[in-house]
Structure 1
Amino acid sequence: MSTDLVVALDIGGTKIAGALVDAGGRIQVRAQRPTPAREDGETVMKAVTAVLDELAGSPLWASAGAVGIGSAGPVDASAGTVSPVNVPGWRDFPIVERVQRATGGRPVTLVGDGVAMTAAEHWQGAARGHDNALCLVVSTGVGGGLVLDGRLHPGPTGNAGHIGHISVDLDGDPCACGGRGCVERIASGPHIARRALEAGWRPGPDGDASAAAVAAAARAGDPVAAASFERAAQALAAGIAATASLVEIDIAVVGGGVAGAGEVLFAPLRRSLRSYATLSFVRGLTVVPALTGTDAGLLGAAAAAAPRTDASTAPIRG
């Protein structure tokens, strides 16, 4: 077994996960705590420290040379801070400095969760072997990241590739980001469900009104549920095609909870993409499901912290 280990942290609004990851992308040790998202910033940091302390109890800890953090955003990798929308106690929280202190001065790399997923998919998943790729997380929000010329391209603050806030409907609904008609406002899980409900779809006896329930209804032939996914797919296709036209990607990898809808999402997405990706240099663009699943955040944090030829470069080190 390799001793070239990385400490990986995946920080979200629901859970804080940690792992020791080896050079082959295998998770050797895991730890996890619920995120006390409604508590003050120091309480949230205590949960991060508890995860790190559990990992430090492993005899493998001494072999870990660096730390990678994939966090819900916004993140500012240039400053080493995070301000997750769903963790109000953290605003410009100095996570790089605090984690570096908690891990004995190890170098720390910070990326957003969309960029982490991209690093994971390029290293171990569906974007492996592709030099130019866009990877998307379609869930409660819509995030993403870019691989350009074979390397992760996080941008100065770690947010490059954030496809969720490309406007695809100039007269569309206001988005939480302050824009209008953003991909996220149309294609995220809650907005798929909202649009279906507004158009007359009704949940079953269990009352489940999630995007997953809308997907199940669409699969069973409900035309209103299917139409909501069609609209989401159209928005995603427009954003993907715009990105491809700008930077010449050849593959788009889609993960996140909404991607679990399978062909309910992917069939109309591929169909819509043919209508938007019409230029000669983007016509060959393919769209595929992500492969790294729930470990994407941990694997991506590890990949960003330990650059290798098939992984990524790191935007900031503490």
Structure 2
Amino acid sequence: MEHTSEPVALAVDIGGTKLAAALVGPGGTVVARRAAPTPAGNAEDVWAALAAVLVDLLDLAAAAGREVTGAGIASAAPMDLRTGVVSPVNIPGWRDFPVTARVGALVPGRPVRLGGDALCMALAEYHHGTGRGSGCLLGMVVSTGVGGGFVLDGRPLFGVTGNAGHVGHFVIDPAGPPCGCGAHGCAEAVASGPSMVRWALERGWRPPGGTADGVALAASARAGDPVALAAFRRCGEAVARVVTVAAALCEVDRVVIGGGVAQAWDLLGPAVVEPLADYPGLAFMRRVEVRPAVLGVDSGLIGAAALLVDERLPVEPLPVGEPAPAVI
């Protein structure tokens, strides 16, 4: 990284398999990035791995003469912005982990902002990807799970505790399959990659290479396998129902879809768009555009950095240990 005085944000993207971080400059440019596997151990094991990545980047910024303006953190939910703690379902070692305070200790005196990973993806696409120019945007991640985040009139929608946008848990079929959240018929129980594969296997699909995953399912669909094609149609119909509900609730004018399943956009895109010709009943709901995400694996990092640019975001979290206000 060249020596310069241009400031950067420290961006963090916390996932169940990878802990990623980057220095992100103005305009969403990733200047340097680092990553480490997410340990399967206890809370301190996970933090030690993340801290090593962050310290490496902070040392790099200091050596290049770059001011670090603050830190933005994208994390899987659930979380509580009021206390800065996270309990990602895919990181068992972190339950009510004070990630905001821990990262803040590495950048003393500078702001630290926390947001959901899907919301950060939506922010990145809104500012720098296929969401540019939209008035109200829904960003969706269709992958191992189904997540979402809203950017309404330019502002990210956090909700009371930071968990707004869980569109994967819109119930699209009350009589549908059980979901990991405890409900039945959630969009995630139909449209996630593992749900698609499981549904296809139950109906006789056999992966050509022996490995039953989303990549194999997409290959079979492209080869004309009727069950694999039906799995993508079923997924697309579920996502289209989510889009219709989002359009009715928030009058979103654009939906940007990323994630592992969306890598097969040639299959997923038409499966989402075609039902949208029939589902919405009102004219404003039919105006929504559906597009693929374009920022790829950097979207969470770019979106985490974008959390720092809006002075209207939530205030700093309460001190660790102080009880949050009750949610009634």
**TM tier relative to shorter chain:** over 0.9
The one-letter code of the counterpart of 2:130 is A
Q: How much does 1:144 deviate?
A: 0.6
Distance in structure 1 (CA, Å) of the matches to 2:231 and 2:316: 42
Distance in structure 2 (CA, Å) of the matches to 1:164 and 1:316: 27
Contact preservation (8 Å) 2:258, 2:292 = yes
Contact preservation (8 Å) 2:32, 2:57 = yes
Distance in structure 2 (CA, Å) of the matches to 1:68 and 1:192: 33
Tell me the SS of whatever aligns to 1:57.
Answer: helix
Gap regions ≥5 residues in structure 2: 318-328
Q: How much does 1:106 deviate?
A: 2.3
1:3 aligns with 2:2: no
TM-score (norm 1): 0.95
Distance in structure 2 (CA, Å) of the matches to 1:291 and 1:62: 28
Distance in structure 1 (CA, Å) of the matches to 2:124 and 2:195: 27
User: 1:40 matched to which residue of 2?
Assistant: 42
Contact preservation (8 Å) 1:75, 1:158 = yes
* Superposition map of 1:83-98 within 5 A: 83-98=87-102
Contact preservation (8 Å) 1:250, 1:286 = yes
Distance in structure 2 (CA, Å) of the matches to 1:140 and 1:2: 40
**225, 229, 237: which one pairs with 1:222?**
225
**171, 191, 195: which one pairs with 1:191?**
195
Gap regions ≥5 residues in structure 1: none
Q: How much does 1:2 deviate?
A: 7.0
Q: How much does 1:234 deviate?
A: 0.7
1:182-208 CA-partner distances (Å, limit 9, x unpaired): 00000000001100110110011x312
User: 1:246 matched to which residue of 2?
Assistant: 249
Contact preservation (8 Å) 2:8, 2:66 = no
* Superposition map of 1:102-181 within 5 A: 102-181=106-185
Distance in structure 2 (CA, Å) of the matches to 1:56 and 1:4: 12
Contact preservation (8 Å) 2:12, 2:20 = yes
Instruction: Indicate the RMSD between aligned Cα atoms, in angstroms.
Output: 1.4
Tell me the SS of whatever aligns to 2:278.
Answer: helix
The one-letter code of the counterpart of 2:194 is P
Distance in structure 2 (CA, Å) of the matches to 1:136 and 1:80: 23
Contact preservation (8 Å) 1:52, 1:103 = no
| Identical aligned residues as a percent | 48
Q: How much does 1:316 deviate?
A: 4.6
1:68-109 CA-partner distances (Å, limit 9, x unpaired): 000112122222111011111101111101110122342110
Distance in structure 2 (CA, Å) of the matches to 1:217 and 1:227: 11
Q: How much does 1:45 deviate?
A: 0.4
Contact preservation (8 Å) 1:136, 1:255 = yes
User: 1:315 matched to which residue of 2?
Assistant: 314
Contact preservation (8 Å) 1:7, 1:68 = yes
Moved more, 90-99 or 70-79: 70-79
The one-letter code of the counterpart of 2:143 is S
Aligned pairs, number: 312
Q: 1:160 to 1:60 in 2, by over 3 A?
A: farther
User: 1:99 matched to which residue of 2?
Assistant: 103
Distance in structure 2 (CA, Å) of the matches to 1:143 and 1:316: 24
Contact preservation (8 Å) 2:6, 2:66 = no
The one-letter code of the counterpart of 1:53 is V
The one-letter code of the counterpart of 2:140 is L
Tell me the SS of whatever aligns to 2:91.
Answer: coil
TM-score (norm 2): 0.92
**52, 55, 58: which one pairs with 2:54?**
52
**67, 70, 73: which one pairs with 1:69?**
73
**190, 196, 210: which one pairs with 2:213?**
210
Tell me the SS of whatever aligns to 1:129.
Answer: coil
